[in-house]
Structure 1
Amino acid sequence: MFSRTENFSQYIRLYPVVTFLLALNIFIAALVYLPVIGNQIYVGGMGINWLIAEGEWWRLVTPMFLHAGFSHLLFNMFSLFIFGPELEKIAGKARFLTIYLLAGVFGNIATYFLQPLDYMSVGASGAIFGIFGAFGALVYYTKRILPQLRQIILPIIVIGIVMTFLQPNINATAHITGLIVGFLIGLSYFHPKRIVSWKKRKN
């Protein structure tokens, strides 16, 4: 289910939203390394709570497209590359993008309200955890139909939560909020009655 066997052109054609998000994050990461403008992009977009309180509301969105170094970018984009396609295929393009963006934005909103004013953060991890949360909702509805999905997703979610609290400099608020938001949206999207109505419309 999560093994990627497509070639480059097939991947782009089959998963356009995931491809766009991967390209956007990598492009912005490359811009950040440019002299002068890179620092302006990074500082101007990172989540800084006291600046949000001053009215810079775009910082509730832009942090999810910035990363604190190559390893941070690599981990998040690898997770998106592996797990994103299956969710885009199951949920559809618009619903997948909704899960991703809302999980990321609400993770940043929760960070603003629950962390001190001097708190600063970047990263797509809240959105990535939203993907895991949506799969958690799918597991909730299909635990008897797709036991293999449960065997894969639940350990990933547990490991992700544990690592969130073991590693330093991790925005645990965004991670947990993203997971919850993804799960709640997934409960709506993957409800059996809604899935039946989708199938009827397609037929």
Structure 2
Amino acid sequence: MDQPPGSPDQPAVGNGLPSCYRHPGRETGIRCTRCERPICTDCMVSASVGFQCPDCVRNGSGTGHAPAASRPRTLAGGTIAADPRLITKVLLAINVAVFIAGRAADQLVRDLDLIGLAYNPVDNEIVGVADGQWYRLVTAMFLHQEVWHIGFNMLGLWWLGAPLEAALGRARFLALYLLSGLAGSALTYLIADANEPSLGASGAIFGLLGATAVLMRRMNYDMKPVLVLLALNLLFTFTMSNIAWEAHVGGLVAGTAIAVGMVHAPRERRALVQYGTCGLVLLVTVGLVLARTAALT
């Protein structure tokens, strides 16, 4: 006998997990604590105990409160926005705008790329992070020189960023992106030759890749696709020339650590664990930068 839409026992798909009652075909291991219907990350609303579906929140089912009393929350506790991909779009637009500006003015790239310490014969001056140009650790994350470089990175940003932003919320997603990119810059600054320039959003993208693996594990999704993608990217990282593997590894480690803190934080101490994890990653990143600066000066 066919089951009506919205039945608590939705047909299982893929590896046996039920599908979300609002998004057929999307596997999930989470159920609404009120009606017991399976719900995916886009439909999960944080409740005092577990998660509720949008229908139960809207109707105030069993809560004893008016429907407006419950604010929809993402898996990580962020506010569900009307456009769950806004930050992803903004980051993509910034990267593209800086790329166009850099193609029009090569000097812009030289002024903003990541370099530890080097002599600039054009302006007869010493440049680099160790000389006080700390901003290069951040600006390098938005620079690209080749079309294929920005093309691959922006595809990764869109494919990985959009679902992550929807699952984490805007503020948490932005923190994940920026801290992953910064960690990638810091490890590059620490290990690479001081006079070797580096640029690109790859550190941040690898952070999103690590976070995606953590989120999929948390939701009991099939891990094979993301693990294969991760393996391929690491293979390219260590076999292709002119790739700053340090940025990839730094971003991956930071993004994975931040995502673990965000999606596995206990509800009663969620903010403390999430802020603490981001703060710890930032502290380690700053420590690496200070250590390298001390060694170069």
TM-score higher than 0.5: yes
| Conserved 8 A contact 2:178-2:204 | yes
- Give the letter for the 2:110 counterpart: V
Match for residue 135 of structure 2? 58
| Conserved 8 A contact 1:15-1:89 | yes
1:170 to 2:170 alignment: no
Shift of residue 13 of structure 1?
3.4
Match for residue 146 of structure 1? 221
| Conserved 8 A contact 2:84-2:170 | no
1:88 to 2:88 alignment: no
Q: Which has the higher helix share?
A: 1
| Conserved 8 A contact 2:102-2:145 | no
| Conserved 8 A contact 1:141-1:192 | no
Which of these residues, 230, 246, 249, is aligned with residue 157 of structure 1?
230
Q: Could you say if the C-alpha distance between residues 191 and 41 of structure 1 is closer, same or farther in structure 2, counting changes exceeding 3 Å?
A: same
1:48 to 2:115 alignment: yes
Match for residue 15 of structure 1? 85
Choose between structure 1 and 2 for higher RCO, CA contacts under 8 A separated by at least 6 residues.
1
Match for residue 16 of structure 2? none
Match for residue 24 of structure 1? 94
Name structure 1 gaps, 5 residues minimum: 2-11, 199-203
Q: Kindly provide the CA deviation profile for residues 7-48 of structure 1, in whole angstroms up to 9, marking residues without a partner as x.
A: xxxxx93310000001000011111122xxx12211111001
Q: Kindly provide the CA deviation profile for residues 105-158 of structure 1, in whole angstroms up to 9, marking residues without a partner as x.
A: 11101111111211210000000000011112223434xx222xx122111111
CA RMSD, 1 decimal: 2.0
Q: 2: CA distance between counterparts of 1:56 and 1:160?
A: 30
Name structure 2 gaps, 5 residues minimum: 1-25, 27-81, 118-127, 272-297
Match for residue 180 of structure 2? 103
| Conserved 8 A contact 2:103-2:145 | no
Q: Kindly provide the CA deviation profile for residues 51-71 of structure 1, in whole angstroms up to 9, marking residues without a partner as x.
A: 111111111110010012111
Q: Could you say if the C-alpha distance between residues 192 and 112 of structure 1 is closer, same or farther in structure 2, counting changes exceeding 3 Å?
A: closer
Shift of residue 181 of structure 1?
0.3
User: What secondary structure, in the 3-state scheme, does the structure 2 residue paired with 1:188 have?
Assistant: helix
Q: 2: CA distance between counterparts of 1:192 and 1:55?
A: 37
Give the stretch that moved more between structures: 12-21 or 158-167.
12-21
TM-score (normalised: structure 1)? 0.83
Higher Cα Rg, which structure: 2
Q: Kindly provide the CA deviation profile for residues 160-191 of structure 1, in whole angstroms up to 9, marking residues without a partner as x.
A: 11110111100100001100000000110010
Q: 2: CA distance between counterparts of 1:195 and 1:186?
A: 18
Q: 2: CA distance between counterparts of 1:88 and 1:116?
A: 35
1:181 to 2:262 alignment: no
Q: Which has the higher strand share?
A: 2
Identity of aligned residues (%): 34
Task: Count residues in correspondence.
Answer: 181
